[in-house]
Amino acid sequence: MVTAFACNETMVQPAGTGWTKLLSGACSFPDINIEQAYFWTSDWQAWEREAEEDLVEGRYADFPDVNSLLNDLHAAETDEE
């Protein structure tokens, strides 16, 4: 585990790690596995917010089983051609 700082959606770690050190605004100090640090990047957090908005707005589909999902994906591929 590495202690990293998330300040205003900017990933910050102590000097010498190759990441930008920027301290401004409200900061939180979660202990995160370095292999999962991507999750705290600005881009990934934007994708998480977008996904949450899609769920709230009903922009998703439920499938009763994997075959139904695959059939839908294949149909979408056919529609694009």
Per residue in 31-70, pLDDT (tens digit) is: 677 788 888 788 999 999 999 999 999 999 999 999 999 9
In this structure, are residues 4 and 32 in contact, taking their beta carbons and an 8 Å threshold? yes
Beta bridge partners of 11: 6
Task: Say yes or no to pLDDT of 75 above 60.
Answer: yes
Q: Which residue has the higher pLDDT, 43 or 20?
A: 43
Q: What is the DSSP letter of 23?
A: -
SS3 state at 17: coil
Neighbours of 12 (CB within 10 A): 20
What is the residue extent of each domain of the chain?
2-80
> Rounded to whole angstroms, what are the CA distances from 37 to 15, 28, 46, 50?
16, 14, 15, 19
Residue with tokens 């301290």: 23
Quote the CA–CA distance of 67 and 7 in Å, as a whole number.
43
pLDDT for res 21 = 43
**pLDDT confidence band for 3 (50 / 70 / 90):** very low
